């Protein structure tokens, strides 16, 4: 007795393969992590004497642009997974490539058009509670984006060799990476309105 069961095929009574259950559990813990940070935002904002309107300090056009970029990358991520289901590795590489490029674009906009100009105006996290929340939440989200870029780049490059030996397992991996990526996208969809619009 050696091999671990249900690494690729789903178990009948749970309907899941191991990694799919694993990633959902991981996402549950991520919900608790960001949930606690969102709760912090609510508590500090309710307790504050004065809270600036996000739109007066942040650029809504840049935020909107980044939202569109991230949602598009989620769409291309799904296409990448579908391409593998269609047994088309070339198409997968193209869509995964788009996903990575869009994610990098998000980071570039965040860093060079948002963070650095803010720092140049001496707007640091210690400036006020608003900036503290803004930099902590978006910074942690950006770290998640960078993590996703790392994972996706691996699956786009050397990780894709698994397609030759274990195509089904590789397809599962892309599904897992996709679930994570949609979660990162979802966090931003919450962050954008609470920081930029409200």
Partner 1 sequence: MNPHHDSHRMHVFRKYLFSIDHKVIGIQYGLTSLFFLLFGFSLMMLMRWQLAFPGTAIPFIGKFFGESRAPGGIMLPEFYNELGAMHGTIMVFLGVVPLGVGCFGNLLVPLQIGAPDMAFPKLNMASYWVFFLGGLTMLFSFILPGGAASSGWTSYPPLADIATIGQTVWLIGMVFLITSSLLGSINFITTVLQLRTEGLTFMRLPFFVWSQLVTAFLLLLAFPPLEAAGILQLMDRLAHTSFFLPSGLMISGEPLKGSGGGSVLLWQHLFWFLAHPEVYVILLPAMGIVAEIIANNIRKPLWGYTSMVYSVLFIGFMSFIVWAHHMFLTGMGTAMSSFFQATTMIISIPSVVILSCLFISLWGGSIRLNTAMLFALAFLPMFGMGGLTGLPLGLSVSDIHLHDTYYVIGHFHYVVAPGVIFALFAGIYHWFPKFTGRQMNEFLGKLHFWPSLLLMNAIFFPMLIQGLAGVSRRLYDGGLQYAHAQGVLSLNKVSSYSAWALAVAQLPFIFNFVFSIFKGKKVTSDNPWEATTLEWQTPTPPGHGNFETTPTVYRGPYEYSVPGASRDFTPQNEP
Q: Would you tell me which residues interact with partner 1 (CB under 8 A)?
A: 1-6, 11, 14, 16-19, 21-22, 25-26, 28-30, 32-37, 40, 43-44, 47-49, 124-129, 132, 135-136, 140
Nearest distance in Å: CB 132, partner 1: 4
Instruction: Encode 35-47: b = buried (16+ Cβ within 10 Å), e = exposed.
Output: eebbeebeeeeee
Which of 105, 52, 88, 116 shows the shortest CA–CA distance to 174? 88
Nearest distance in Å: CB 18, partner 1: 5
Nearest distance in Å: CB 48, partner 1: 6
State which residue, 13 or 61, has the beta carbon closest to partner 1: 13
Nearest distance in Å: CB 46, partner 1: 10
Cα separation of 157 and 119, whole Å?
35
Nearest distance in Å: CB 30, partner 1: 7
Give the alpha-carbon dihedral of 34, 38, 43, 49, to 10 degrees: 130
State which residue, 89 or 162, has the beta carbon closest to partner 1: 162
Sequence-ordered list of residues with C-beta below 8 angstroms from that of 122, at least 6 positions apart, any chain: none
State which residue, 51 or 79, has the beta carbon closest to partner 1: 51
Instruction: Encode 75-88: b = buried (16+ Cβ within 10 Å), e = exposed.
Output: ebbbebbebbeeee
State which residue, 28 or 60, has the beta carbon closest to partner 1: 28
State which residue, 3 or 165, has the beta carbon closest to partner 1: 3
């Amino acid at each position: 007795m050696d091999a671990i069961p249900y690494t690729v095929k789903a178990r009948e009574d749970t309907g899941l393969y191991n990694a799919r259950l694993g990633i959902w559990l991981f996402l549950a813990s991520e919900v608790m992590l960001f949930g606690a940070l969102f709760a912090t935002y609510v508590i500090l904002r309710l307790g504050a004497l004065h809270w600036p309107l996000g739109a007066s300090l942040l650029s809504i056009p840049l935020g909107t642009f980044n939202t569109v970029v991230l949602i598009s990358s989620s769409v291309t991520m799904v296409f990448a997974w579908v391409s593998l289901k269609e047994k088309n590795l070339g198409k997968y590489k193209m869509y995964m490539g788009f996903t990575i490029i869009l994610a990098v674009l998000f980071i570039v906009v965040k860093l060079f058009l948002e963070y650095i100009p803010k720092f140049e105006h001496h707007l640091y996290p210690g400036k006020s509670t608003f900036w503290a929340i803004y930099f902590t939440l978006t910074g942690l989200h950006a770290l998640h984006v960078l993590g996703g870029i790392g994972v996706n780049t691996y699956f786009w490059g050397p990780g894709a060799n698994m397609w030759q030996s274990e195509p089904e397992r590789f397809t599962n991996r892309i599904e897992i990476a996709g679930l994570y990526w949609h979660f990162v996208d979802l966090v931003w969809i919450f962050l954008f309105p609470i920081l930029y619009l409200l």
